[in-house]
Structure 1
Amino acid sequence: MRCYFLIIFLLLLSGIKAQIVVVDIKNKPIPYVEVLSNNKYFYTQTNLKGELNWNEVLKLNPTDTLFFQLITYESVYFIKSELTSNDTIRLADQIQDRIQEFQEFSVVSNNKKNKYQIIDVCFRSYQVNDDSVAYYLDGKGQWISKINKSRFDLLLKENRSLANKVIEKEDDNPDRTVNFGFSPSVPRPPFYYLPFQYHKDLTYRFKDSSNIELFIKDSIYVGNIETTKDHVFYTISDYDFVGTNKLLKNEINRIQKQITLIFRNYEGFNVKTIQNYDDLLYYKSYTELSAKHNEEKDYKRFTQVTELFFENVAYAQSINKKEIKDSTKNWRESNYTSEFWKTCDCELYEPPIRQLLSNLYER
């Protein structure tokens, strides 16, 4: 009888979902931490509770290395054989060590009203197909739009594009599983996701003095606002994104879309009333989809990550539309140089880790 109950107990234990949890130095779970590896077929993220599914880690060899990284936190790495299914991994906040001095600039006021906003950014965009990086794009650019409008024109200064040869070859095959593809693009400023614009029916619940939880109808948790001395972290899930599309023989499942905005904090700052980009330092969009060509074939998983690092926001009464048109037309003719990493004067900018770019070639 004891043996019988022991077997049942072991079976119940085997059904428990083993997780690694990533937390900060205050033991608060950290969502959306990127987890990469020297194994080019591995890429994942922690969930809203900071959990990393142990089943994902089991895909790796014992000697493979896992890299944990997230903007404003110090990156750490572990050999897979050093980890167990119930480990807690702590990331230290290193933002104070990376804050840079900004160049001072003056604003000249006159009687004419400014019509345009000019946003200087560094950007990064990449896609993972079934755990393999398919493409990577980064560089510097300038977005221009009318004030408080969502339509932007792009002036590219520097950019490079890298691709995975194996996946590109698959995309050229007419018999591939999914007969559509994605292409890299420069992320646009997140007008739709500014707090005043996105989900005006959000409910705010104070968890403590520095943490506000966000809910939508039916008390569905969608994110939180976390405040530190220097920054405000605004993290949300876009539930309007989730759904399924069918086109001809293709089926696309939109699984999730996570948005992170980091603002500069100061006395009197109120993130709920923000209507511009003046204090926005960082934007990240993490999108996960799956797709298949017909019902007889397996789904293919696509993960897309886009990031904007804000360098400067200025305003003008007029712009040179010809310069914008010429730049947009010839944007692939880039003057990208290796000095890019030194010239990105963004407070929160982080170069990509080497493992993200491994096995890619320049287009």
Structure 2
Amino acid sequence: MAASRSTCGTVMLVAGTCFTILTLIFVAISFATDYWISYTVKRDNLSNLVKNAEATNGRYTFSRNRGLFRECYPNASDAFLSAQSADVSDGECFKVDLDIPDATADSLTNHYISRIHLLRSCIAFIAVGLFLILVTFIVGLIPLSCSRRSKWAFTAGFLAFLVAFFVAGGMAFFHGAEYLEKRKITDSIDGDKIMFYQSWADDIKINTDSDYDWSYALGWVGVGCAIITAIFYVIAGFYVGDERYEDREYLDKSSSRGRGQDYAMGNGYDNRAFPPQMMDRPYPGAYPYPGQGYPVPPPPMAYPQGPYVQDLDNGRQLQPMPYWSWS
């Protein structure tokens, strides 16, 4: 039974470690890639007035995909990218501006400033979640390799729950920022290059589709893996704790039974070390012990009747003599 619990505890710890690695991979990829939201603009359906007026100016008139740090335009025209070459990185991407310009701070609405704070909080929460994943991995290795104690498994499970909380909190902040972009913000940034949904022309609103992409999905997969990791570690903590409880219970029983009872039950000595003729002989003392399976010493030898005289000069014992007295 103890071996079975030990095996189950080890399996749970290994599973928790594997899911910790998966959580780290999914959350890190989600955090670093640029496919949280994809915008598909059907430019063929736009009016010529919109195309000509905003083809080299408004970014929102082109299909794009956006992450936490960058917004990329893989299908944008060369004229559009050349006109904004000063802000372009990697040939087709623009940095997501998370700074509040001092010169225009008075003209920005509270909704726009709140959006920036929400995006910053999103990045901060996911970054903390990534750090906690590393700590969870290290703590989870301790009961697996160094100190097999339940407190380490429970600590790893608690940290994994914190990972799920922080990453899910970051996703919630992202949703809050997206809600403000679509429903509340009417600001225009850098002329008309960056405009939000409420300020778009009706033609662009109708012909633009937005959807969550695979980077966003990986973030939620990471949250799920973190929860599974926590469950595995908590279960492992119970198994490891039961192992220690069974060991302690065995030791307590052994100490309460005492050494004499162990010997009487044949557990104190290895009986094979004694000759067979000594195994079934009754104990010759006043309080006999069970003879079966218990090593019994031979009866005492019959010594001749004294007195005994020792030759101190020659260092030898003299033969016994009949009892006599000096008187």
TM-score strictly above 0.5: no
1 or 2, which has the higher strand percentage? 1
Higher relative contact order (CA 8 A, sep 6+): 2
TM category, shorter: under 0.3
